[in-house]
Chains A and B, each alone.
Chain A
Amino acid sequence: AQSVAQPEDQVNVAEGNPLTVKCTYSVSGNPYLFWYVQYPNRGLQFLLKYITGDNLVKGSYGFEAEFNKSQTSFHLKKPSALVSDSALYFCAVEGRWGAGTKLIIKP
């Protein structure tokens, strides 16, 4: 069955440290991959996407994601976390949504 997995319910990172939010998928073909962020009491916002080309894609707010076809992963990364990055992050693949990962950045 086609699915999207975000294995971590919550990720805790100290401010200034690098962060990674994981996403793996099981979708046939060459899927389109997306990351979205949802701040408290707000709607979902698009962060970045992978369609084709360079495996490292850059998005909003300093985030980037690395597409790894062999591992069927699309992990979200940021070199230096900010407290304001604290939010709920969703990975989406071809209309299928991960369960979400709550990212908490501690000062």
Chain B
Amino acid sequence: SAVISQKPSRDICQRGTSLTIQCQVDSQVTMMFWYRQQPGQSLTLIATANQGSEATYESGFVIDKFPISRPNLTFSTLTVSNMSPEDSSIYLCSVRTGVTEAFFGQGTRLTVV
């Protein structure tokens, strides 16, 4: 298993600013994932972050808007840039170790005003 610490847990931000979300894992993992979830709805994968390479973004998500860092095998950050109210959502960090189940952080509830 893996324990994930994600912070901040929530934030209220002004439009036009940026927020960086941190994800710390208690063990080394190859693959880390960033998701967005509207409350009560399904998960949408933003990008996959592997250490030592650039993140792979899903359709509809671009690096300029959601830059990701993955400096080592236990840590990653997601930045939500130039925020607008449409970016208000829950952002989730997740890891998988091979073909096993995914483990999730508690999420970051972002409100953009």
State the CA gap A16–B59 with chains docked (Å).
Answer: 43
State the CA gap A100–B43 with chains docked (Å).
Answer: 9
Give how many A residues have a beta carbon under 8 Å from the other chain's beta carbons.
19
Please determine whether B42 and A43 come into contact, CB atoms closer than 8 angstroms.
Answer: no
Chain B stretch 84-113: residues in CB contact (< 8 A) with chain A: 92, 94, 99-107
Please determine whether B40 and A100 come into contact, CB atoms closer than 8 angstroms.
Answer: yes
Considering only CB atoms, which chain B residue lies closest to A100 in the complex?
Answer: B42
The answer to whether the Cβ of B63 comes within 8 Å of any Cβ in the partner chain is no
Please determine whether B42 and A46 come into contact, CB atoms closer than 8 angstroms.
Answer: no
The answer to whether the Cβ of B41 comes within 8 Å of any Cβ in the partner chain is yes
The answer to whether the Cβ of B13 comes within 8 Å of any Cβ in the partner chain is no
The answer to whether the Cβ of B73 comes within 8 Å of any Cβ in the partner chain is no
The answer to whether the Cβ of A49 comes within 8 Å of any Cβ in the partner chain is yes
Considering only CB atoms, which chain B residue lies closest to A96 in the complex?
Answer: B45
B59 → chain A, closest Cβ, in Å?
A: 13
- Chain B residues with CB under 8 Å of chain A are 40-43, 45, 92, 94, 99-107
